[in-house]
Amino acid sequence: MDLIVAVLFQLIYVISNLALISLGLAIIFGMMRVINLAHGEFLMLGGYTVVVATNAGINIWISMLILAPLIVGVIGVVVERLLIRWLYGRMVDTLLATWGLSLLLVGIVTSLFGASTGTTVSPPLGVLRIGEYSASGYEFFLIIVTILLLFGVWLTLRFTKLGLLARGTMQNAEMASALGVSTSNIYMITFGLGAAVSGLAGGLLAPITGVLPTIGATYIAKAFITVISGGAAILAGTTAGSILLGGINGIFSFIAGSTFGEIALLLAAIILLRLMPRGITGRFFRKSL
């Protein structure tokens, strides 16, 4: 019984981890049809923000939950104004430009902080006991945060004015701008919010994974695959994609070790895209958010 609970906990953690690292990318992709290959670097910047802020003596909770999303969100807005806005509607070009951005950010961070960081932060919160097994309390915290974050995004999209305008712009940008919505501003805000969510995710993961300039590369493939497998709907897609792929990853990791878990995840994504070229939400839950 305890073993089942412990394994289940681990499975849920893997799933929510995948959802956490993908959500920012999903917001930007779902809203703007922009695939942001610098997403991994946004996560990396969030992580660096936490490490630098904590070492400067700021409370770790403040630096994780407030500073990381704030700073990366501002960076996102700057990037959108300088780079992305020239490329709307040119999907392949945005892909390439953001790839360039990702290399650029890795380069800048490496020049500033060096290729490796000695200083890390240790995860707060202690150990959680499940019968004779123990789980990390911080992992439990991450699961809760992920659920709250998904819920928060849903609330924003569903019930606020900004959410309404964003959804309108997403469905038909020309019509929205004819009705007096500044689509350019909406895109800027959406990109900033997506970046902020990525920054938050990166900040939250920093105590577990540590920070490195090149750490984005380990996230980007997984996040990218989850979002594409999920399809265009932001929340339903991310959730469905992470449950399916995270579940497969978790189960195979449990059976055959973590590398095989990752390979199973990637293979599952390939097969999924062969069967459903537009992702899960391209076929099911089409009307969802």
Which residues here bind another protein, judged by CB under 8 A?
Answer: 35, 83, 86-87, 91-93, 95-97, 99-108, 110-111, 217, 220-221, 224-225, 228, 259, 262-263, 266-267, 269-270, 273-275, 277
- Residue whose CB is less far from another protein, 68 or 225: 225
CB of 225 to another protein, least distance (A): 6
- Residue whose CB is less far from another protein, 99 or 141: 99
Please name which of 14, 38, 19 lies closest in space to residue 234, comparing C-alpha atoms: 19
Q: What whole-number distance in Å separates Cα of residue 230 and Cα of residue 98? A: 21
- Residue whose CB is less far from another protein, 67 or 105: 105
- Residue whose CB is less far from another protein, 142 or 212: 212
CB of 219 to another protein, least distance (A): 11
CB of 120 to another protein, least distance (A): 22
Q: What whole-number distance in Å separates Cα of residue 154 and Cα of residue 27? A: 11
Q: Which residues contact 231 (CB under 8 A, 6 or more apart)?
A: 237, 240, 241, 276, 278, 279, 280, 281, 282, 283
Three-state secondary structure of 41-86: HHHHHHHHHHHHHHHCCCCHHHHHHHHHHHHHHHHHHHHHHHCHHH
CB of 37 to another protein, least distance (A): 9
State the burial class of residue 45 (Cβ atoms within 10 Å of its Cβ: 0-12, 13-18, 19+).
buried
CB of 90 to another protein, least distance (A): 8
- Residue whose CB is less far from another protein, 107 or 126: 107
CB of 87 to another protein, least distance (A): 7
Residue 116 is classified by DSSP as: S
- Residue whose CB is less far from another protein, 7 or 95: 95
Total residues found in the chain within this entry: 289
Whether 208 and 193 have beta carbons less than 8 Å apart is answered as no
CB of 220 to another protein, least distance (A): 7
Q: What whole-number distance in Å separates Cα of residue 276 and Cα of residue 62? A: 42
Please name which of 245, 243, 225, 241 lies closest in space to residue 280, comparing C-alpha atoms: 241
- Residue whose CB is less far from another protein, 127 or 275: 275
Q: What whole-number distance in Å separates Cα of residue 264 and Cα of residue 165? A: 39
CB of 101 to another protein, least distance (A): 6
Whether 252 and 20 have beta carbons less than 8 Å apart is answered as no
- Residue whose CB is less far from another protein, 38 or 53: 38
3-state secondary structure of 182: coil
